[in-house]
Amino acid sequence: MRKPLLILATLVGSATLFAQKPAWQPTPGHLTLPLWPNGAPGTPPNPVPEVDTTTAKDNLIAGKPLIRLGNVSNPTLTLYTPRYKNTGAAVVVFPGGGYRILAIDLEGTEVCDWLNSAGITCVLVKYRVPGSGPYPKSSAALQDAQRALGIVRSHASEWHIDPHRIGVLGFSAGAHLAAALSNHFDRRLYDPIDAVDGLSCRPDFAVIVYPGYLSLAEKNFAPNPDIEVSNQTPPSFIVQAEDDPVHVENAVVYFLALKNAKVPAELHIYAEGGHGYGLRRTTLSVTTWPLSVETWFHTLHILSDSAGSHPPAK
């Protein structure tokens, strides 16, 4: 009788270990830091564990599945450093997911792989979801974004980053978050907790990919008044497909606001592409957008020989 009991105990133990396995974690070798040393503002005492919400019925992107990470209550940032040439530029990445989930691989780790290949440090932000935005409906995600930019600037020397070449890149809701941070950087949306919060959280540039929430469909696509563009808004690159069900007007309206504020901006509209393709290449030309971004980086001297280079961070 002891042998069956031993087998049963082993199975139960294995099931418990499996249940405790994180829904997502970075591959080994990447530094991960909590955004908030004592927990995020307003975090419940017993948060629900993170979970990959993807099911067998969910769509594939370029023939591959993706992780839809939900129940994020302990936000983090993860550092991805270039393995070879380090240009000194850095990009803080916000995955999309409608402020409900995070497409953490499609619009996160895969983006970091691309940026690293161009010699750019990538900082992937796992911000709070669900119900964490858009601002001002909720300020949680924007709090996380402000805090993340401050942390990156505070570690610029240690991570071999130029503190004046730190940008943001976001997709869908994450693109809205990047735009919100580009225009809400003068005042923290939380009580400062340490020296990090005394540093600027203004991005030096922004890449806005198939954004949502930047225009109001119910008001004939008027600009979202909660995103107040000014001449202090950083230079921005915007891309979207005309057939995007989230509405291409989000990109067009934001571009016009930047133009009227005399902010350098580049707008790329493609005829086809839909929504949520990330960097995964298909036969549609919209998926060549990363090449255009790299060209834009050189145009702004974010990437250039004159900008200098730094050794890879150890």
Please report, in tens digits, the pLDDT of each residue of the chain (314 residues total): 444 444 443 444 444 444 457 889 999 999 999 999 999 998 888 889 999 999 988 889 999 999 999 999 999 999 999 998 999 999 999 999 999 999 999 999 999 999 999 999 999 999 999 999 999 999 999 999 999 999 999 999 999 999 999 999 999 999 999 999 999 999 999 999 999 999 999 999 999 999 999 999 999 999 999 999 999 999 999 999 999 999 999 999 999 999 999 999 999 999 999 999 999 999 999 999 999 999 999 999 999 754 445 544 44
pLDDT value for 174: 98
Q: 80-307 has which CATH code?
A: 3.40.50.1820
Question: What pairing do the DSSP bridges indicate for beta strands 236-241 and 265-270?
Answer: parallel
Q: Give the global pTM.
A: 0.91
pLDDT of residue 310: 54
Of the candidates 266, 260, 250, the one whose C-alpha atom is nearest the C-alpha of residue 205 is 266
Neighbours of 173 (CB within 10 A): 29
Check residue 16 and give its pLDDT. Answer: 41
Q: How far is CA 162 from CA 85, 147, 201, 307, in A?
A: 14, 18, 14, 9
Spatial separation of the C-alpha atoms in residues 218 and 143, rounded to whole Å: 27
Q: Give residue 47's pLDDT.
A: 85
- Asked if residue 109 lies in contact with residue 225, where contact means CB atoms within 8 angstroms, the answer is no
